[in-house]
Chain A
């Protein structure tokens, strides 16, 4: 079977914030660009971001400085964020945020007419010395929605070519390891097409669905990570999964950190504001990893709320109806729908819930994907033709723990940066890497496998087994023996998924086929996470082990690199060389 080929200068996979920021840049440049999205772009998970976009635009505080933001981000990352990348993000940030306003994003406003900024966790003034900062630019509690729609609208204005409801299935790379494009399936018709391009940009988002309980959308199945790993591209710091302190208990739906920014706080069953014990200064606005761990300690120590003592409460009623309805209208709506609790009157039951993948495809500040010369060791090498931006990428600006509001900034800054870099590269004559017929055939093999499956376990049961394994073995607190068990369970699952069965072979809008293809991606992410988590023998940021409770800067002040070819975990140096400021040296991290 030979398949249709469509040729572009650049193909962007993913229609969330990062993908659409990159496509906007390229659409404006006039190069032939396609954006492939498995859902209509405004249905991407960026739409769920609530609290805001953190950036030193000096509205709430006229003296605010991007270097303070940089300091917070480096500290938040538990010192394995790359300082050159963080420097770039924090310094370019204001320009990128002002552009969003010019695009029409309806930010909330201050009396002066400037963008409203609210306090978020881990924010400080004057390098941690000046108290809590308010640096998160917000459009009520619907910032992601407002941002995603503004970007989609601008892409319409500039005539971006969208392939909506097309699922990218695999990368096409040639014998020299260059990326030549991507195979994608039109969900509506089932047609499979080779998108050939000089630059393939992954903006496929996260993979929270590897866990049974997550704040992530059902579409967050790690398609980019899966495609990368199958193509031999390594992933970095993939053991670092952020558990958001406030997911609605039972439902998994996110309640923004902005609730605590606006003055809400957490209480245990005795009504005690327990964060005062764990983080005496920042209290409820400590780093997310710190707050999530503290909540779990309360629950494990028997001070959890509810009949099973399995959650704590987020208290908001003292803020008053007016503040809640003007600043947090979406939260009031979600809480009433999913927790049957009106925040104006009663506290919201919350529990730490899988939220964000700090790791991903290693990339530089231009979005270029990287590998190590020896697989899991050696020097950085640029992978020709492949770029990664947004959550799927690990630039790394989040290190071991992302600060609230930094993900939206990451999207627009690096989506934009990749667009600019590719535009420049195309002008200078970036070349198309040519694949052989076999290379394309290779990339089609997985699609074929499912299409030809005759019997085996169902996709749903396999997915549930995978999600439960991750939930039980790689949660907020981790333990060596439990993780080793999880690793072997996943190895077993790999065998079972390879034998999995797709019953419905129809072409038209076959969501069963989509879910089968997504399952392969979930497995890739899960296995990489498991091996990396088991391998990092320390506690840092979101990665917290009972058997190695302390940070180990001597051995692990580095990125982990998981090589899919050998399933081995290697190390990569963290960048400590920002260009315009002094290095922030690792310190004990307290809030």
Chain B
């Protein structure tokens, strides 16, 4: 099968280019990460991040045939139907909108900075009890669909608002985590958290186009979380 991969080495290349490879998967419907490993056997200079290879660490977010996703849990037949039959090529590019360090490796500093801005940690200024802080199953259920985020950046880098204002708009991933703590019954910093989100950029740049929802490899819904935060902000303002 044919694979076309975005290549750029800052030490030798003036600009990025696409490189074609021929890979033999023996007809198997591999995951894209397995294909990359086969390419790397041919060409060890290819750089990409990977760790758990089972979709829980979030290292290998990349753009495959136009759609962001995790290479390790994306099967060829899903991302590029017909690629095994030679009808088309698998095209792999780095996540869009972030600076490229080398090949498929992007500089995620901006993404992490936005994550840090939402104070992504539990704040509770009451003295901790000798055991756990009690939380009912119903209260805990509110965190489902929020805490599972793996910070792969597939969502934020598919969001045009994040492309245009990566320093000011927090992006879907950070906002999902912002809501994860707003929704936690054990957190006491609700007001302070909301105050940090009510400027015109941090949250309100979300135009609800739901690109984030369509690419999230964990099936999470940042748009809904953003809507919940907006409701909280409005409730507070009125």
Question: Are any A and B Cβ atoms less than 8 Å apart in their complex?
Answer: yes
The distance from the CB of B19 to the nearest CB of chain A, in whole angstroms, is 15
**How far does the alpha carbon of A110 sit from the alpha carbon of B151 in the complex, in Å?**
29
Residues of B within 8 A of A330 (CB): 56
Mask, A243-273, CB within 8 Å of B = 1, is 0000000000110000000000000000000
CB pair A106 B134 closer than 8 Å: no
**How far does the alpha carbon of A509 sit from the alpha carbon of B101 in the complex, in Å?**
7
Q: Which bucket holds chain B's interface residue count? A: 35 or more
CB pair B101 A45 closer than 8 Å: no
Residues of A within 8 A of B103 (CB): 509
Stretch from A25-33, A285-293, A500-508 at the B interface: A500-508
Residues of A within 8 A of B101 (CB): 188, 508-509
The distance from the CB of A284 to the nearest CB of chain B, in whole angstroms, is 23
CB pair B44 A503 closer than 8 Å: yes
Please give me the residue from chain B that is nearest to A220 by CB atom: B51
Residues of A within 8 A of B151 (CB): 40, 42
CB pair B44 A512 closer than 8 Å: yes
Interface residue B120 (Cβ < 8 Å from any Cβ of A) = yes
Q: Which residues 16-49 of A sit at the B interface, judged by CB distance below 8 A?
A: 39-40, 42-45, 47-48
The distance from the CB of A342 to the nearest CB of chain B, in whole angstroms, is 15
CB pair B132 A508 closer than 8 Å: no
The distance from the CB of B211 to the nearest CB of chain A, in whole angstroms, is 22
Chain A interface, number of residues (Cβ within 8 angstroms): 60
Interface residue B26 (Cβ < 8 Å from any Cβ of A) = no
Q: Which of A45, A154, A188, A511 has the most CB of B within 10 A?
A: A511
CB pair B150 A145 closer than 8 Å: yes
Residues of B within 8 A of A511 (CB): 40, 46-48
Please give me the residue from chain A that is nearest to B33 by CB atom: A218
Residues of A within 8 A of B235 (CB): none
**How far does the alpha carbon of A511 sit from the alpha carbon of B44 in the complex, in Å?**
8
The distance from the CB of B21 to the nearest CB of chain A, in whole angstroms, is 15
CB pair A218 B51 closer than 8 Å: yes
The distance from the CB of B27 to the nearest CB of chain A, in whole angstroms, is 15
Stretch from B9-17, B196-204, B220-228 at the A interface: B9-17
Please give me the residue from chain A that is nearest to B46 by CB atom: A511
Interface residue B237 (Cβ < 8 Å from any Cβ of A) = no
* Given known A42-B150, A503-B44, contact A338–B54 (CB-CB < 8 A): yes
Interface residues of B (CB under 8 A from A): 9-12, 40-41, 44-59, 73, 75, 101-103, 105, 108, 112, 116, 119-122, 124, 128, 130-137, 139-140, 143-144, 147-148, 150-151, 181, 184, 186-187
Since A113-B135, A150-B122, A512-B45 are in contact, a sample of 16 more A-B pairs with Cβ atoms closer than 8 Å, ordered by chain A residue number, is: A40-B112, A42-B150, A43-B52, A104-B181, A106-B143, A109-B140, A114-B134, A140-B144, A145-B148, A153-B122, A157-B119, A218-B53, A504-B45, A508-B10, A509-B102, A509-B105
